[in-house]
């Protein structure tokens, strides 16, 4: 999620204001006018991982889930020094059932030391040719001018990691390019003996209203550090018109089903005068008819919106999917509206106002 520690800062929102919110702030989220497709089952109350679970003041976000044949493994992030402030770093949690989680190890997996990054967010992890690869959003300590880029780390066991010192994917620097301002939020999949790395990209929108155009790009690699030319593979659908403040998509995550590559991602808005202005408000799905490299067909309705749950009234974001046989699992992040974060803060950063949710449905619902 580029939100509270990433793209919110790009939009000039920052995150310090979240800590200052109180019950006296009566602002409410703007209605979306969207209806989600429904059909999800929720085996236990959400969020299944709440703020303060597993770690004191843990603000859990950005899930990426795998299964190693024995246990579920989740890579996720939290602020580590002070709530809502950098550094935000990746952790690893394990679970026997995908619902009850514990940190393993208890400490962050990566450090920004020796890199140009202040935080390492939105981890996406795959196993490829005997190694574990993590792609992440690197929040630049000193924007140059891009405030973030895509970073990489490699591991022999998924626990001890070596971080590539420099970004592996960056913006072009030409603002009128689709990927001119920034690239971030990678979502990787191993497909036909290559790693396909999807990512969110921002460039200037022709006409300038809203000013940013946010789309999903793709770059392909076999070693995690060298890539072919990136391509733009997905743009916002008519369901999300710019005239209503929708700016495009973020946090793409890929999964395979029916011998096709599928993407889940969130939908972003930029509403001038709102607090914050940049928000992630819905989750969506698309499937590729061309080996994951294009021809994506988007669903007619969102999978979920922030209006669907009492704990996602601020944002819903960062979906990740795992298919096991006939069952599809989805984990996702969210939090209440900024005006409702006061109780969480007064509890010492603890509670269900911020966390990670879980839902499931038949995998056949996504076959195309």
What are the tens digits of pLDDT across the range 173-209? 999 999 999 999 999 999 999 999 999 999 999 999 9
More confident residue, 300 or 2: 300
Task: Please give the DSSP secondary-structure letter assigned to residue 259.
Answer: T
Average pLDDT, whole number, for the chain? 92
Average pLDDT over residues 73-78: 98
pLDDT in tens, 236-295: 999 999 999 999 999 999 999 999 999 999 999 999 999 899 999 999 999 999 999 999
CATH of domain 3-366: 2.115.10.20
**In Å, what is the CA distance from 352 to each residue of 44, 114, 333, 345, 349?**
13, 35, 11, 11, 10
**pLDDT bracket for residue 28 (50, 70, 90):** low
% of the chain beyond a pLDDT of 90: 89
CA distances from 91 to 4, 161, 329 (A): 17, 11, 20
Per-residue pLDDT, 27: 59
| Token reading at 125 | 């992890």
Confidence of residue 23 (pLDDT cuts 50, 70, 90): very low
- The domains of the chain are located at 3-366
Instruction: Identify which has the larger pLDDT, 17 or 366.
Output: 366
Q: Return the beta strands (E) in 60-208 as ranges.
A: 61-67, 72-79, 88-95, 102-103, 117-128, 131-140, 148-155, 161-163, 182-190, 195-204
Residue 11 has pLDDT above 90, yes or no: no
pLDDT bracket for residue 31 (50, 70, 90): confident
The pLDDT value recorded for residue 183 is: 98
The pTM score is 0.93
Q: Tens of pLDDT along 137-174?
A: 999 999 989 999 999 999 999 999 999 999 999 999 99
Q: What is the pLDDT of residue 4?
A: 41
């Amino acid at each position: 999620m580029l939100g509270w520690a990433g793209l919110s800062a790009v939009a000039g929102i920052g995150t310090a204001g979240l800590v200052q919110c109180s019950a006296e702030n009566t602002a409410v989220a703007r209605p979306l006018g969207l209806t989600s497709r429904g059909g999800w089952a929720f085996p236990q109350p959400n969020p299944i991982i709440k703020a303060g679970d597993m770690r004191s003041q843990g603000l859990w976000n950005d899930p990426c889930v795998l299964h190693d044949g024995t246990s579920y493994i989740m890579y996720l992030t939290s602020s580590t020094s002070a709530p809502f402030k950098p550094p935000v770093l990746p952790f690893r949690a394990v679970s026997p059932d995908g619902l009850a989680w514990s940190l393993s190890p208890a400490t962050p997996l990566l450090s920004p030391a020796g890199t140009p990054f202040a935080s390492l967010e939105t981890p996406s992890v795959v196993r490829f040719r005997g190694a574990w690869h993590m792609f992440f959003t690197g929040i630049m300590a000193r924007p140059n001018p891009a405030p973030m880029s895509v970073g990489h780390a490699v591991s022999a066991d998924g626990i001890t990691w070596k971080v590539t010192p420099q970004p592996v994917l960056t913006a072009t620097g030409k603002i009128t390019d689709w990927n001119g301002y920034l690239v971030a939020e990678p979502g990787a999949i191993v497909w036909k003996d290559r790693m396909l790395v999807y990512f969110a990209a921002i460039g200037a929108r022709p006409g300038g209203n809203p000013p940013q155009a946010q789309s999903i790009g793709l770059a392909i690699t076999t070693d995690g550090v060298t890539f072919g030319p990136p391509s733009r593979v997905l743009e916002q659908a008519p369901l999300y018109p710019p005239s209503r403040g929708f700016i495009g998509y973020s946090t793409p995550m890929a999964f395979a089903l029916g011998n096709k590559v599928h993407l889940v991602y969130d939908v972003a808005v930029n509403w001038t005068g709102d607090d914050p202005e940049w928000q992630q408000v819905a989750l969506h799905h698309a499937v590729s008819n061309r080996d994951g490299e294009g021809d994506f067909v988007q669903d007619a309705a969102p999978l979920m919106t922030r209006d669907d749950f009492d704990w996602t009234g601020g944002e819903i974001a960062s979906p990740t999917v795992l298919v096991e046989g006939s069952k599809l699992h989805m984990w996702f992040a969210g939090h209440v509206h900024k005006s409702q974060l006061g109780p969480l803060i007064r509890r010492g950063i603890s509670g269900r106002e911020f966390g990670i949710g879980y839902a499931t449905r038949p995998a056949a619902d996504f076959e195309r």
